[in-house]
Amino acid sequence: MQTTIDRAPGDDATAILGLDGELDASNFQGVIDSASGLYAEGARRLVVDLSSLTYMSSSGLVCLHALALLFRGMPPPDPEAGWDAIHSIGLDTDAGERVAEVKLVGPQPNVARVLDRTGLGRYFEVHPDRASAIASF
């Protein structure tokens, strides 16, 4: 998988993380590490561009949940926790409150289906393009 990192024009507090390829157990920790670095550098809002993501496994769900926690100033779940990391998603999403600090852009149908079927899609605002996601902050 390839990742790209950009900043919103004129707004250093908003980072854009582009994902291209497959998000799975082999690379999800690298995405979390990249986002953690952005947060450490001062980014407080994150746009995750999923428009070129062709596949997302359960590790991808853990990854998106971790990004939400990071940008809320909370520690992400331990990736070694296995099913506990998956179960913690349900605990955080039951409140029905969307994450204000992280927006998703353009998931392809198969990725959108994973988000919908797992309920994680209710946790994030989804936008058709980067510009509308950035404008929504």
Residue 19: which residues within 8 A CB-CB, separation 6 or more?
A: 1, 2, 3, 31, 48, 49, 50, 52, 53
Q: Are 116 and 61 in contact (CB under 8 A)?
A: no
Comparing CA positions, the residue from 120, 107, 119 lying closest to residue 48 is 107
Q: 32-67, pLDDT tens digit by residue?
A: 999 999 999 999 999 999 999 999 998 999 899 899
Q: What is the pLDDT of residues 14-26, one digit of tens each?
A: 999 999 999 999 9
The pLDDT value given to residue 15: 98
Averaged pLDDT, 89-101: 63
pLDDT of res. 122 = 85
The CATH homologous superfamily to which domain 2-135 belongs is STAS domain (3.30.750.24)
Q: Where are the beta strands (DSSP E) in the chain?
A: 2-8, 11-23, 45-56, 102-105, 125-127
CA distances from 95 to 73, 98, 99, 112, 127 (A): 18, 9, 11, 21, 22
* Domain range annotation of the chain: 2-135
